[in-house]
Amino acid sequence: MTNPMQDVLKSKVILIIGTNTTSNHPIIANYIYEAVQKHGAKLIVIDPRKIKLVGISHMWLRHKLGTDVALINGLMHVIIKENLQAKTYIDERTTGFEDLKACVAKYTPEYVSGITGVPAQDIIAAARLFATEGPGSILYAMGITQHISGTDNVKSLGALSMLCGYVGVDGGGVNPLRGQNNVQGACDMGGLPNVFTGYQPVIDIGARDKFAKAWNADHLSDKVGMTVTEMIPAAGKSIKALYIMGENPILSDADGHHVEKCLAALDFMVVQDIFLTETAKLADVVLPSTCFAEKEGTFTNTERKVLRVRKALDPPGEVWDDSRVISSISERMGYPMNYADASSVMDEINRLTPSYAGILYSRIENTGLVWPCPAPDHPGTPVLHTKAFTKGKGTFFAIEYRAPAELSDAEYPTLLTTGRVHQHYHTGTMTRKGSALNSLYPEPLAEINAEDAKIINISDGSYVHIISRRGRLKVKVSVSEMTDRGVVFMPFHFFEAAVNKLTNGALDPVSKIPEFKVCAVRIEKAA
């Protein structure tokens, strides 16, 4: 996020796209409600589903699945045509505007309406509202990233925000809402295949030398590693063993049948987790580990704020925390990793990670700090890019619309999209262990539009078979107006109806994220 969560209270217009915020990020949703209902902010919701925030929105653009780039280009076309762009900001702080202008020239409201299904007049009205009522904040989540065009979607949103002069200002910015509580921290700590901590590239010889010296290593490889979605197909081929921590790819990864075959082809698989997940059941070795309440450390949340986590409970039995497990394995493999406690790990992070250099344990005893925080006397940086972008000037990318990898046809006439529900989390490893949450949402449901239900001759509570090119499953139906005609929505929390056995494993070429949000299916009434 370029801006803090509470910054939406300073926004005059908020654009929500690809995020069912009340279900997936309810605290942030509370700020949106406050901004709209108490501070008079205008709200634009762009979503194929009639999410809860539509109820307080000033405009709702219900676009077809996977048409985000076309719609964003259409908004920018109107803004440029009507001369509503932030001219001074563009001249002083950006490059590539003329390329962008040339690209979006053909994305007229009428042309975009034909692609997205959004009426032309609504595209014009939304563009005017967003460009003229600033400062404007853009919030998005995995409804934007989980496409083969996910990287293009994000770049397009960045262009829209820069076009209006909203990056680097209070109440503005481009703000991805992270899908898990410490995924920002995992990325910051080098949990990506191409970087050390703080996004220091492994291909940079200076970074490699710095870390090699700190870790008492002769040298470190300059080879960029593999993403999860590259590792799974390589399992049993170039990858013979896999160590999985806190992930449940049997349920969470696209094309689940293929995932299961790949994992079965491994010579050796270790799973480290707090419960025996569906993936752990297939492992050669399972290492039980502590949950967040049983260990010390930090979380870095979606607004880049580093917060202390303190041990509240003793773990059961002989369970070790993750750092002790990792260090012990490392020592047995010939490399000692001796950290006295979580604080000593943080000390190393401070020494080696410029953006975390000033985030000392002593400074976050009672409150969090936002990176970049380069020195012990630095207050942190709640808003990014206030005076200049990290690279100097922000770049406008000219991006053309690309259709999803799989569209509906005569054999598979319906589009399937997946996501989360408010009551459960990810693959249900934790939330489905408790009776309270299970009583609120006890079983998997497929959302189907009422008109589609009539055609199939089913009603609320009926069972159907949903079939894709990769698999089939049986599931109970929830008939409503939340989902558009020709679309079925399913949550992926439930092993009983593992929807990712149906989804398409086609990847974004840059991020390598699968297209969870669009695949073609057919629906048949179950006997």
Asked if residue 391 belongs to a domain, the reply is: no
Pairing assessment for the beta strands 519-525 and 414-419 based on DSSP bridges: antiparallel
Structural domain contains residue 285: yes
Q: Does the residue 409 lie in any domain?
A: no
276 and 355 part of one domain? yes
Total number of domains constituting the chain: 3
Q: Which two tokens stand for residue 172?
A: 């503005």
Orientation angle between helical segments 342-352 and 205-214, nearest 10 degrees: 150
User: Whole-model pTM above 0.75?
Assistant: yes
Taking only the tens place, the pLDDT of each residue in 264-285 is 999 999 999 999 999 999 999 9
Per-residue model confidence as pLDDT tens digits over 305-322: 999 999 999 999 989 989
**Which residues, at least 6 apart from 257, have a Cβ–Cβ distance to it below 8 Å?**
470, 471, 501
Pairing of strands 463-467, 519-525: antiparallel
Q: Are residues 212 and 333 in the same domain?
A: yes
Question: Tokens for 382?
Answer: 């709640």
As a whole number, mean pLDDT of residues 2-22 equals 95
Same domain, 424 and 344: no
Both 437 and 347 in one domain: the answer is: no
Given a contact cutoff of 8 angstroms between Cβ atoms, the answer to whether 182 and 299 are in contact is yes
Query: In whole angstroms, what is the distance from residue 189 CA to residue 202 CA?
Result: 13
Range of the domain at 428: 414-525
Instruction: Flag whether pLDDT at 426 surpasses 90.
Output: no
Query: Is a pLDDT exceeding 90 seen at residue 421?
Result: no
Split at pLDDT 50, 70, 90, the class of 423 is confident
Do 14 and 160 have their domain in common? Answer: yes
Over 90: is that where the pLDDT of 116 sits? yes
Contact 62, 53 (CB under 8 A): no
The amino acid at residue 298 is T
Same domain, 167 and 190: no
Q: Under a CB-based contact definition with an 8 Å cutoff, are residues 141 and 153 in contact?
A: no
Residue 9 lies in a domain: yes
Q: What is the pLDDT of residue 56?
A: 97
Burial class for 461, CB neighbours closer than 10 Å (0-12, 13-18, 19+): exposed
Neighbours of 414 (CB within 10 A): 21
Mean residue pLDDT of the chain comes to 93
pLDDT of residue 75: 98
157, pLDDT greater than 90? yes
Residue 446 in any domain: the answer is: yes
- How far, in Å, CA of 291 to CA of 10, rounded? 36
For residues 452 and 360, state if they share a domain: no
Give the integer Cα–Cα distance in Å for 360 and 353: 12
Among 146, 177, 208, give the residue marking a domain's end: 177
Q: Write out the DSSP string of 176-204.
A: E--SSTTHHHHHHTT-STTB-GGG-BTT-
Q: What angle do CA 233, 445, 470 make, to 5 degrees?
A: 30
The answer to whether 171 and 45 have CB atoms below 8 angstroms apart is no
Q: Which amino acid is at 285?
A: V
**Domain-embedded: residue 268:** yes
What three-state secondary structure class fits 31?
helix
CATH at residue 35: 3.40.228.10
Domain's final residue, options 159, 177, 195 = 177
Domain identity same for 251 and 328 = yes
Name the nearest CA neighbour of 126 among 195, 69, 202, 71. 71
Q: How confident is the model at residue 134 (pLDDT cuts 50, 70, 90)?
A: confident
For residue 134, tell me if it sits in a domain: yes
Domain presence at residue 401:
no
Give the whole-angstrom CA distance, residue 261 versus residue 265. Answer: 6
Tell me how long the chain is.
Answer: 527
- Determine the residue type at 192: L
On whether both 139 and 75 belong to a single domain, the answer is: yes
pLDDT tens per residue across span 213-267: 999 999 999 999 999 999 999 999 999 999 999 899 998 888 888 999 999 999 9
Look at residues 519, 373, 465, 413 and name the one whose alpha carbon lies nearest to residue 66: 519
In the chain, the N- to C-terminal Cα span, in Å, equals: 48
Q: What is the pLDDT of residue 71?
A: 98
- Whether 226 and 342 map to the same domain: the answer is yes
Q: Which residues of 306-327 are buried (b: 16+ CB within 10 A; e: fewer)?
A: bebeeeeeebeeebbbbbebbb
CA-based torsion, 104, 144, 34, 52: positive or negative: positive
C-alpha span between 35 and 44 (Å, rounded):
13
* 207 lies in the same domain as 81: no
Q: What is the pLDDT of residue 222?
A: 94
CATH code of the domain covering residue 465:
2.40.40.20
Do 73 and 164 reside in the same domain of the chain? yes
Domain boundary among 128, 159, 177: 177
